[in-house]
């Protein structure tokens, strides 16, 4: 229920041609609403605002949160990761690997709140002090539910996070379970740069089927 206030920096430093939900300077949302916006709609300005909020709460600033990201990654055993921002937008010094992202994804999935958010298909942000209408969020993860014209819904999928930039191409960290075992699969830099058809999603499904059926 913590209130996150969007600063001028959070809005100004988020490219308008990147994923966002059109927040305004001075707008206020709860931390929960911000996290749903980040996970379902890849809202980059919300990621920035969350980083700033947490950093300030700890007596620091935006950079404090970035430093914590890197510290936590090292604690998890990541060896090829360096974060310079909280949203994954391109930067020469911002990078990770599929292996490291799997370590991060595994740790995140141990958090009950995260499990709920990442498996949510739709969410509504109520009117704020800057927006009089409801903001509707829709999870972009095609394995989780039918998104636009997708036909890649996977019955064992329990959540995950999509990603795309021109530099990183199509990326996906996904979760699945057969009721006995839980699986994490990470694909990065898939070819194409288009959203349909998403061959990396189809490859993920094939990989999951192999391990689930193998066991």
79-114 pLDDT, tens digit each: 999 999 999 999 999 999 999 999 999 999 999 999
pLDDT tens per residue, range 120-152: 999 999 999 999 999 999 999 999 998 877 788
Residue 39 neighbours by CB under 8 Å, 6+ apart: 117, 118, 120, 139, 161
Residue bearing the bigger pLDDT, 29 or 167: 29
For residue 196, the model assigns a pLDDT of 54
pLDDT digits (tens, 9 = 90+) for 177-186: 999 999 999 9
Alpha-carbon gap, residue 53 to 209, rounded angstroms: 41
What average pLDDT does this structure show over 7-35?
A: 97
Give me the phi and psi of 30, to 5 degrees please. Answer: -75, 160
Question: Which among 26, 49, 53, 55 is positioned nearest to 37, based on CA atoms?
Answer: 49
Q: What mean pLDDT comes out for the span 23-49?
A: 98
| pLDDT, position 66 | 98
Long-range contacts of residues 153-159, Cβ cutoff 8 Å, at least 24 apart: 154/204, 154/205, 154/208, 156/208, 156/212, 157/208, 158/115, 158/118, 158/119, 158/182, 159/109, 159/115, 159/118, 159/119
Tokens 């595994």 belong to which residue?
106
Rounded CA separation 62/66 (Å): 7
Contact 45, 81 (CB under 8 A): no
State how far the Cα of 22 lies from the Cα of 121, in Å rounded to an integer.
Answer: 20
Measured distance CA(141)–CA(119) in Å, rounded: 9
Question: How far is Cα 94 from Cα 84, in angstroms, rounded to an integer?
Answer: 5
- The predicted pLDDT at position 192 comes to 59
Query: SS3 for 125?
Result: strand
Tokens representing 143 are: 């394995």
* pTM across the whole model: 0.94
């Amino acid at each position: 229920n913590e209130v996150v206030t969007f600063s001028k920096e959070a809005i100004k430093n988020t490219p308008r041609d990147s994923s966002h939900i059109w927040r305004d300077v001075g707008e206020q949302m709860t931390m929960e609403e911000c996290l749903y916006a980040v996970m379902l709609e890849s809202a980059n300005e919300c990621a920035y605002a969350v980083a700033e909020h947490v950093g300030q709460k700890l007596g620091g600033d935006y950079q404090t949160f970035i430093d914590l990201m890197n510290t936590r990654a090292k604690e998890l055993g990541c060896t090829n990761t360096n974060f310079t921002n909280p949203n994954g937008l391109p930067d020469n010094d911002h990078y990770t690997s599929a292996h490291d992202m799997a370590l991060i994804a595994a740790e995140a999935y141990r958090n009950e709140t995260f499990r709920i958010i990442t498996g949510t298909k739709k969410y509504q942000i109520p009117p704020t002090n800057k927006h009089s209408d409801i903001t509707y969020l829709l999870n972009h993860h095609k394995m989780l539910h039918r998104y636009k014209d997708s036909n890649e819904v996977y019955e064992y999928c329990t959540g995950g996070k999509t990603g795309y930039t021109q530099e990183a191409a199509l990326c996906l960290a996904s979760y699945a379970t057969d009721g006995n075992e839980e699986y994490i699969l990470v694909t990065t830099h898939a070819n194409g740069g288009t959203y349909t058809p998403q061959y990396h999603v189809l490859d993920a499904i094939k990989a999951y089927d192999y391990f689930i059926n193998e066991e």
